[in-house]
Amino acid sequence: MAFRALATGLGAGRNAWLVPLDVAFKTLGLRYGWLKGLFDHAPSGPLAMTGRLRAERAAWRAVRRVPGYRAYLSAQGVAVDRLVPAGILEKLPETDKHSYVDSYPLAQRCLDGRIPFVGTTIDESSGSTGTPYNWIRSEAERHIAHRNISFFARYCFGIEPLVTINAFSMGAWATGFNMTLALNHNGIVKSTGPDIGKILSTMRFLGPG
């Protein structure tokens, strides 16, 4: 019990001095140019260390607040009550769909064992491994994902407005709808789905310019 209290105190202390970094990253992440400037000019060592500290915090949070993950670790022989944030990544076993996703209900894989209903969507993977899986996404997670996709498109194709043909399958699949919403930040999007005839027709309609 004393060790757990000590670990909680250490985790809270780490979180406290990571808060200014969180605020900085969130602020710089609002604009593509700001974020690119950070990665272009900041030393790689401190950035890597910051990334590791934030990853350790995320892992520590999952151990403490995700019931299914905590149960999974215990089943794998991890002494969860002896874990501390520092060095936690080296002590966690890999998860996969069979050992984790198939073994624990959806709610048990959410924070505090509860599914947040408002603003939540469920995406479906393609089933390339044989079985399509359902993945729950919060509104905050989708917002960050859309912004990251938008920024990556600007990094690859430049900052001028884009015209995008989204050929991903639409519907419940993770990529289709979310890709449309993300790239809409960069310009015009038409979502044709993987229909070659529609794609070619759209290209003829839009023209070479």
pLDDT tens-digit map of 51-108? 999 999 999 999 999 999 999 999 999 999 999 999 999 999 999 999 999 999 999 9
Judged against a pLDDT cut of 60, whether residue 1 lies above it is answered with no
Nearest-angstrom CA–CA distance, 18 and 39 = 19
Q: Which of 196, 168, 201, 202 is nearest to 182 (CA)?
A: 168
Nearest-angstrom CA–CA distance, 119 and 128 = 28
**DSSP H or E stretch at residue 159:** none
Place of tokens 């401190």: 46
Question: How do the domains of the chain map onto residue ranges?
Answer: 2-115, 143-206
Nearest-angstrom CA–CA distance, 95 and 135 = 15
| DSSP letter assigned to residue 112 | G
pLDDT tens-digit map of 31-55? 999 999 999 999 999 999 999 999 9
Task: Tell me what pLDDT residue 207 has.
Answer: 79
Query: Residue 203 contacts by C-beta under 8 Å, 6 or more apart in sequence?
Result: 165
Query: Residue 199 contacts by C-beta under 8 Å, 6 or more apart in sequence?
Result: 165, 167, 192
Up-side HSE of residue 84: CA atoms within 13 Å toward CB? 12
Nearest-angstrom CA–CA distance, 99 and 69 = 11
Judged against a pLDDT cut of 90, whether residue 109 lies above it is answered with yes
Helical segments of the chain, H only: 2-28, 32-41, 44-65, 67-75, 139-157, 174-183, 196-206
66 φ/ψ angles, rounded to the nearest 5 degrees: -110, 105
| DSSP letter assigned to residue 118 | T
The predicted model scores a pTM of 0.80
Residue pair 86/10 in contact by the 8 Å Cβ criterion: yes
Residue pair 72/102 in contact by the 8 Å Cβ criterion: no
Structure tokens at 150: 């938008």
Judged against a pLDDT cut of 90, whether residue 134 lies above it is answered with no
